[in-house]
A and B are shown apart, each in its own frame.
Chain A
Amino acid sequence: MEKHKHMSETKERYCAGRDQKGDVWIEWTPAPTREIHLQSSVKALFGPHLLEVIDRTLIELGLADARVVVQDQGALDFVIAARLEAAVGPVTGKKLALTARAAAAPQRKRLRRTRLYLPGNNPDLMINAGLYGADCLILDLEDSVAPAEKAAARILVRHALAHVDFGASERIVRVNPLSSPYGGEDLDAIVPMAPDALLIPKCESRTDILNVEELIASLEKRFGLVHPIPLIGLIESAKGVVNAAEIALACDRLAALCFGAEDFSADIGAERTTDGRESFVARCQVLLAAKAAGLQALDTVYANVQDEAGLTASAQEAVALGFDGKGVIHPSQIKPIHQVFCPTAEQIDKAQRIVAAMEEALATGSGVTALNGKMIDAPVLMRAERTLALAKEYGLL
């Protein structure tokens, strides 16, 4: 909600939303009777329906008499509800009742090769986000949302979690850090909606994670959530890199550590370059900390959307270093990255022979065996199993 004073009168007006495609702009002022002024690109097709939705939502939000101006550009019902709540709720003190989507229990371990960032205040990008095959979607309340829009974005993401089908992608919300004025409210609003995971930015110490964990645990208890929500720690400062090892071990919820190159370069006073020498050591340190704690390590985004060759090279480097995934800022980056993570025919063949040899050894009561003269032990087996799991994901088995 934004609060303005009219220049000409003393009456207050309240607004929320954006006058953009797939979104709606709402503005209201207290008035002696109820008036709804609706402008919409789809008024001829959905006029009565829109008026009914607006009316019903206003009643639920406890706003009886007001002059409400709605400028709509094809927003879906959940967006209209979210924008009304953002404009009205803070005045009436009411929220719309939302039910978390029935989803499978969140998993700490799952494929996270690609995570697509979606600005939390842009509903138009959310609607089809589940169609692009990203392993994870990040509904972002942090860097892609301006301070004035934080509250509206938080409400929108709540409604999106309740209403949008994100397909098979993991629904992750990046909240603001607890050290900011928004972090606590973000968790209050988002945890009850049972996202599949939370991405915690600007992790710099074990305490940062523990504070978040404590708040989440109490919210889960209050809202009766039975499955603990996994966390991904985003490390994007020199201090965070130095403390990566203790961060990785901070709590059982942690599923992965993620490296953020943009903020990191700024933090150490370096220019972000294409070959990324300024952050190479830091990336590796985050990776080692994650792996040492048994977590996944997720690499930063590749920022040049036009450069597919550069993206592929960067993904190849990430795979070679041992990263489990990369960040994505446009859906067109998903497929090239998945291709890089895809095991080759030779790798699959070798993995199958390793697993077969090991099964044979186990059947005969031995824990160790060899293939082509090379010893197969637990790590070799683990890598082989990981390759086969990936191959299955790619439909190659």
Chain B
Amino acid sequence: MNNTLAFVSVGLMAGGIFLAFLRLLVGKTGPDRAVALDTITLISTNLLVFIALFEERSMLMDVAIVYSVLSFLGVLALARYLDGGLR
């Protein structure tokens, strides 16, 4: 629960989100962007859990669970769209 350690960890996660965001911008195809979006939501879940640990607010864990559920549903809808439209 060292302050420097939390700072370095959040910096590393921000670097990961930056790399995935680069892929989201460059893209080229639709599935590339879907994969990048999935990665960004997973790492944001990590960030929420981290804040819940270091600030000792367990309410943020609920937010993380609901966020991962919503990202799962969103990615399934995107994949259904790639599969040939929503039928």
A binds B: no
Chain A interfacial positions (CB closer than 8 Å to B): none
**Interface, chain B (partner A; CB < 8 A):** none
